[in-house]
């Protein structure tokens, strides 16, 4: 019998990309999962519902629709379910959207996370795991990015909110002994992923008969690099870290969770073309328009995963050809395109 079978896990953002896959992994092990999501329309709500429909098939899954910015709703949730472990993945995501709609980031990422911390203070948990982001590294030029690097110069509001989350969590760990772990995610991709991510958008544009925009000025010698990390690898790393709450005076840790193997953006795009070619049975070549890098974007993301390996003996390993093929196969089937 799974020793966690009697534990209650609260996953916020459960209808989101990472939240869905983590919830499913835990449910497959017989763990009771309470999923919370506000089901906002930042991207296709139909995709969120499709994920949720899969989770609702599990007897040990319970869904609560609510917003972290609503303090009373958060308190009520903790009072009713008394979670043993909290994984806070609910957040307003996206670097570029933080320039268009900053209010959403303050409400969700700052106020909402504060409510989670307060709830963990008053209803003690064994471990709080929360989403940070590789965006905190800003325009750092030293690669690979290490957790000890200076990260006080964010280049987007989104990154600033994630750095704030790390500071807030550390403070609450120090003051109230809450075991907390922050995860700096590096460009997570896979089937049922987020439509606002570049690889998903490239597929959308292609099947709509539109060109894709690539923000590297067409400079292939100095192309953008991204540490693309497949969703199953991310979930395995999270699963192992959940089992290892930090200890000590201020029981708070931050880890990079990435692939430790960055790819040129153009290599990634060419791989996606090949994968969609196999998925559709016809040659797929994107019509490409090259533009300057966007405000808030960074030239490279590259994770050092040495601390993650040291902590849980794990490093993500799925090659992009394998991960993108799974995405391409899912996309073609889900949207019925050929």
Q: Which active-site residues does the annotation give?
A: 158
Burial of 12 (0-12, 13-18, 19+ CB in 10 A): buried
DSSP code for 211:
P
Non-local (6+) Cβ contacts of 127 within 8 A are: 85, 86, 179, 180, 181, 242, 245
Q: Which of 53, 14, 217, 224 is nearest to 131 (CA)?
A: 14
**32: Cα separation from own chain's centroid:** 21
Backbone phi and psi for residue 157, each to the nearest 5 degrees, phi listed first? -65, -35
Non-local (6+) Cβ contacts of 319 within 8 A are: none
**CA distances in angstroms from 90 to 16, 116, 309, listed in the order given:** 8, 10, 26
Q: Which of 258, 270, 260 is nearest to 220 (CA)?
A: 270
Q: Which residues pair with 64 in a beta bridge?
A: 36
Tokens of 10: 């609260």
Q: Which residue has the tokens 């991310």?
A: 234
Largest CA distance in the chain: 59
Count of positions (residues) in the chain:
338
R_g of the chain, CA atoms, integer Å: 19
């Amino acid at each position: 019998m799974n020793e966690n079978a009697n534990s209650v896990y609260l996953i916020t953002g459960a209808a989101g990309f990472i939240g869905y896959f983590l919830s499913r992994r835990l449910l497959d092990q017989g763990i009771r999962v309470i999923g919370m999501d506000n089901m906002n329309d930042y991207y296709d709500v139909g995709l969120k519902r499709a994920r949720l429909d899969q989770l609702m098939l599990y007897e040990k899954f319970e869904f609560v629709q609510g917003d972290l910015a609503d303090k009373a709703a958060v308190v009520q949730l903790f009072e009713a379910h008394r979670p043993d472990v909290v994984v806070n993945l609910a957040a307003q995501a996206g670097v570029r959207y933080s320039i268009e709609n900053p209010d959403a980031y303050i409400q969700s990422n700052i106020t909402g996370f504060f409510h989670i911390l307060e709830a963990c203070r008053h209803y003690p948990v064994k471990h709080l795991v929360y989403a940070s982001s590789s965006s905190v590294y800003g325009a750092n030029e030293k690669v690979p990015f290490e957790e000890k690097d200076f990260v006080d110069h964010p280049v987007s509001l989104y990154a600033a909110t994630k750095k704030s989350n790390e500071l807030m969590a550390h403070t609450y760990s120090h003051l109230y002994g809450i075991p907390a772990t922050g995860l700096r995610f590096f460009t997570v991709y896979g089937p049922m992923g987020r439509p606002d991510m570049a690889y998903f958008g490239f597929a959308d544009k292609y099947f709509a008969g539109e060109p894709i925009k690539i923000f590297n000025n067409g400079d292939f010698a100095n192309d953008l690099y991204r540490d693309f990390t497949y969703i199953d690898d991310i979930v395995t790393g999270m699963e192992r870290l959940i089992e290892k709450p930090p200890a000590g005076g201020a029981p708070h840790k931050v880890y990079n969770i990435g692939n430790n193997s960055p790819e040129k953006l153009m290599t990634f795009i060419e791989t996606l073309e090949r994968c969609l070619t196999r998925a559709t049975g016809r040659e797929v070549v994107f019509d490409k328009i090259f533009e300057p890098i966007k405000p808030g974007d960074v030239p490279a993301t590259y994770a050092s995963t040495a601390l993650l390996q040291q902590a849980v003996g794990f490093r993500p390993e799925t090659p992009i050809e394998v991960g993108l093929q799974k995405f391409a196969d899912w996309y073609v089937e889900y949207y019925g395109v050929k």
